[in-house]
Chains A and B, each alone.
Chain A
Amino acid sequence: MADQERRVFLTVGTTRFDALVEAVDRAAVAAVLRRRGYTHLTMQIGAAAFQGSRLLPAGAMRGALPDGLVVEWFDYSPSLAAHVAGAALVVSHAGAGSVFEALVAGVPVVAVPNPQLMDDHQAELARKLEGAGVLVAATLGTLEHVLATADFQGLESYVPGDPGGMVAAVDWLMGVGSAAGKK
């Protein structure tokens, strides 16, 4: 393949989110991704009821579509971080672990909250981070449109947090280190 690899990585993390997998694992979405210049679609589907890809022949774990998009899937991997870091775009459930992993790696993220979660703080986190301009939030219904139209280059780069403030406060509480000297 002549063009540079541009990978899309779909991840549900350690959760189960079949509806998100189904929303991505479709010919229309694959065509959108190819049109936008992506070369690979890798799907981490977790414990999804359907262990496979509807884009591929039954039983296949990897294959190329007629337009050239390479599609592959797996259930889990201990090295999700490597997949995230090697991606040009991450489509993720809105769990904090996966979302911040991608943000800290500097990879554009489309976060899709799971509407079936009872205590739905995922949606709040996605909304908050979208408001800060660091990621794109989507719903299952808007995902295809978002993937087709979102301006990923225009995202703000995420400035990772600094645990130093908390450490200094605990040092002060416990009366240790340089913080104790300042007291």
Chain B
Amino acid sequence: MVVLGSGGHTAEMLRLFKNFDASVYRPRVYVAAATDALSGVKATAFEKAWAGIPGKGSDPSGPAYQQAVIPRSREVGQSWTSSALSTAHAMLCALALVFRARPDLVLVNGPGTCIPVCLSALLARMLGVATAKIVYVESIARVYRLSLSGKILYHARLASIFFVQWPELQAKYPRSVLAGRLM
């Protein structure tokens, strides 16, 4: 399961995922925020490009990928009560998604949309429903400080691997892993 966070997050994620072995990491579910139509378009284009490469393309025996959307937990300027409701809604959607797909791997790189998916993955793991290992990649834009979703996942120890892309950040967060830059 690949969570596309919109904009630069999506660009970095697809840049990483392009290097995965498509014949092993399948079937794939791309998750984007409901307000982010562009990430869905990019995921489709990405899979089409993959299908054209011999050996990378998906197995014809079954659907290699599908797409899903979850509502954004909070839009800018929303009131507290309505954001509590929409957060609950986003959480329920993420739970349904994760429990249906039962992913072995959940790839995330922020922003906030990825948190309900990660919490759902944790629950699925605790209940033995899915392996649901979480891999988080902090954005290359972050040199000295983690993003908010990065902080949440790091301190809650939700990720099996927590990648950062700069040595300065790795030095501050010893449980993070530095394995090169995406760009």
Most buried by B among A162, A166, A171: A166
For chain B, residues 136 to 153, give those with C-beta under 8 angstroms from any C-beta of chain A: 137, 139-145
What's the Cα separation between A114 and B174 when bound, in Å?
Answer: 30
Given A121-B141, A173-B160, A176-B21, decide whether A128 and B135 contact each other with a Cβ distance below 8 A. no
For chain A, residues 125 to 183, give those with C-beta under 8 angstroms from any C-beta of chain B: 125, 127-128, 160-171, 173-174, 176-177
Majority-rule SS of A interface residues: helix
A175 CB to closest chain B CB (Å) equals 10
Partner pick for B11 among A97, A164, A165, A170, CB 8 A cutoff: A97
User: Which stretch (B78-86, B114-122, B161-169) binds chain A?
Assistant: B161-169
Say yes or no: A167 contacts B182, CB within 8 Å: no
* B: number of interface residues (CB 8 Å): 36
B54 at the interface (CB under 8 A from A): no
Q: Which residues of B contact A174 (CB under 8 A)?
A: 104-105, 133
Given A128-B168, A170-B20, A170-B135, decide whether A161 and B145 contact each other with a Cβ distance below 8 A. no
Interface code B97-123, partner A: CB below 8 Å = 1, 0 otherwise? 000000011010000000000000000
Say yes or no: B8 contacts A160, CB within 8 Å: no
What's the Cα separation between A167 and B140 when bound, in Å?
Answer: 16
Partner pick for B180 among A104, A163, A173, A176, CB 8 A cutoff: A163
B7 at the interface (CB under 8 A from A): yes
Closest to B107 in A: A170
Given A121-B143, A122-B141, A124-B143, decide whether A104 and B183 contact each other with a Cβ distance below 8 A. yes
Partner pick for A166 among B24, B179, B183, CB 8 A cutoff: B179
Partner pick for A161 among B20, B104, B144, B165, CB 8 A cutoff: B165
B residues with CB within 8 A of A: 7-8, 11, 15-16, 18-21, 24-25, 104-105, 107, 133, 135, 137, 139-145, 160-161, 163, 165-166, 168, 177, 179-183
A residues with CB within 8 A of B: 14, 95-97, 100, 103-104, 121-122, 124-125, 127-128, 160-171, 173-174, 176-177
